[in-house]
Amino acid sequence: MRILLVLWLCLPGWVNAEIYQWQNADGSKHFSDRQGGWKCRNRSGTDATECPVAEAKKLDIKPGHDFYRVKTVYDGDTVVLEDGRKIRFLGINTPEVQHRNKPADAGGDEAKQWLIDTLKNTKVRLEINAEKTDKYGRTLAHLFTETKQHINLQLVEAGLAAVSIYPPNLLYVNELVKAQDQAELAKLGIWGRPEYAPLPVSRLTEAGHPGWTRLLGKVVNVRTTRKSVYLEFSDAFEARIERKWLDLFPDVNSYLGKTVEVRGWLSKSKGHLSMLIRHPSAIKTNTVF
């Protein structure tokens, strides 16, 4: 019977099943997913209806989670667990810390220190979404502490991280976007720093802009190709949306003629600057010059 109970706890389809336990006169324990217990034998030796077991008790069993100690905090959105796995937080991006010959971004050290302080003397569990790892081999996850703190969300709430959604990983998107809206309105963390103020597209130079950037301008044209849709802001800059994720967005033509803010990383090709927009949360339409 102990083996049966273990199977109940381990098989995903039975995790939410009700489990009852009772004890025979000889002291043997029995388990079942029905309060009536196992089928009895009638006088003819065939199965009869279930034998009622008055003393059968419903077990309060909750699915377990594996918790891990964080060995190293790499930066505000990346940690290394005690088992050696490198974890990249899903749905968010914090400013970079100093590494190699690159100086720290504004707010990078603050995000890292907050994470160090928060994860001190606690363990974390992981929630994985559609993609388990990224192209660098890092495990992609939402982190929760033993006291149910959602670390990804709290970084956004404190203004230490910006929402950065990579479909198809859409777990907790609504909560993250709501938290960012509130932090931005209150000018918390990065939202109150001049380094992250929206930059008008008209002020972009050929060199572009390093790191995560906010750009503000009017969409003057919407252009489509087989793989992408382009929101053109000027002859020198456009935002690109991959067609495979268009269902996540409103009608892209609704952006035409509007002043919008786009958020992300600039890339340069043949002297032309572009920004890949993976999710509608990276486009803000309630923005004015």
**pLDDT of 278 above 60:** yes
Tens-place pLDDT, residues 219-273:
999 999 999 999 999 999 999 999 999 999 999 999 999 999 999 999 998 889 9
Per the annotation, the verdict on 88 as an active-site residue is yes
Residue with tokens 């905090």: 73
Q: b/e per residue, 79-95, with b = 16+ CB within 10 A?
A: bebeeebbbbbbbbbbb
Tens-place pLDDT, residues 108-139:
999 999 999 999 999 999 999 999 999 999 99
pLDDT band per the 50, 70, 90 thresholds, residue 86? very high
**Which of 94, 227, 89 lies closest to 169, judged by CA?**
89
Cβ atoms of residues 25 and 60 within 8 Å: no
Task: Report the alpha-carbon distance of residue 203 to residue 249 in Å, rounded.
Answer: 27
Task: Report the alpha-carbon distance of residue 201 to residue 222 in Å, rounded.
Answer: 16
Residue 218 pLDDT: 98
Burial class (CB in 10 A: 0-12, 13-18, 19+), 52: exposed
pLDDT band per the 50, 70, 90 thresholds, residue 34? low
The mean pLDDT value of the chain amounts to 86
Per the annotation, the verdict on 96 as an active-site residue is yes
pTM across the whole model: 0.77
Task: Report the sign of the C-alpha dihedral through residues 148, 152, 154, 157, in that order.
Answer: negative
Task: Report the alpha-carbon distance of residue 158 to residue 137 in Å, rounded.
Answer: 28
Q: CA gyration radius for the chain?
A: 27
Which residue of the set 2, 41, 88, 100 is catalytic?
88
Q: Tell me, rounded to whole angstroms, the distance of Cα 246 from its chain centroid.
A: 20
Task: Report the sign of the C-alpha dihedral through residues 119, 123, 125, 126, in that order.
Answer: positive
Which residue of the set 110, 138, 157, 232 is catalytic?
138
Residue 51 pLDDT: 55
Which residue of the set 96, 110, 238, 261 is catalytic?
96
Residue 99 pLDDT: 85
